Amino acid sequence: MRGFADLGARFAVHDNEIPRVRIDRMAGEYIDFAAQRPEMFTPMFRHDLLQGSGENLRRKTIPIYRSWADLVAGCVPDRAEERAFGLWTNLHGIATLVANGSVELIAPGIDPNRLALRTVAQHLAD
């Protein structure tokens, strides 16, 4: 699926930044990708819908998650896996709501990118 390569390219732009800055930038890229390419973003993580399609989404999804986990560990080693999973699920939730248009409908004054940055800060601080 081309979406993983496109998302990976967006993340790669920030490879040379320090982990804490990089994770903020990647969070923004994740939200922006969902907003700009909802037709691509939505099925990328729907393993249930694409099972048997030959796409092998798990093989493509796990490296993206591992990059988050590694970045979180680089910022805060304590409970890194728990923090990484919590952060990714929260960011993915925001991105999913952006992709399906719910943010504008339910909370039109909310800036998803600002919310993503607050989410990163909360998960790295507690």
What pLDDT does residue 56 have?
62
Which of 26-35, 48-57, 59-68, 99-108 bottoms out in mean pLDDT, i.e. has the lowest? 48-57
Mean model confidence pLDDT for the chain:
88
Q: CA-to-CA distance for 77 and 91, rounded, in angstroms?
A: 20
Q: How far is CA 81 from the centre of its chain?
A: 15
- What are the residue ranges spanned by the domains of the chain? 2-125
What pLDDT does residue 111 have?
98
Question: How large a percentage of the chain has pLDDT more than 90?
Answer: 63
42-97 confidence digits (pLDDT tens): 877 765 665 565 556 666 677 878 888 999 999 999 999 999 999 999 999 999 99
Triad 83, 112, 17: Cα angle to 5°? 55
Tell which CATH architecture fits domain 2-125: Orthogonal Bundle (1.10)
Taking residues 91-119, report their average pLDDT: 96
Local confidence band at 41 (pLDDT 50, 70, 90 cut-offs): confident
Q: The whole model's pTM is what?
A: 0.85
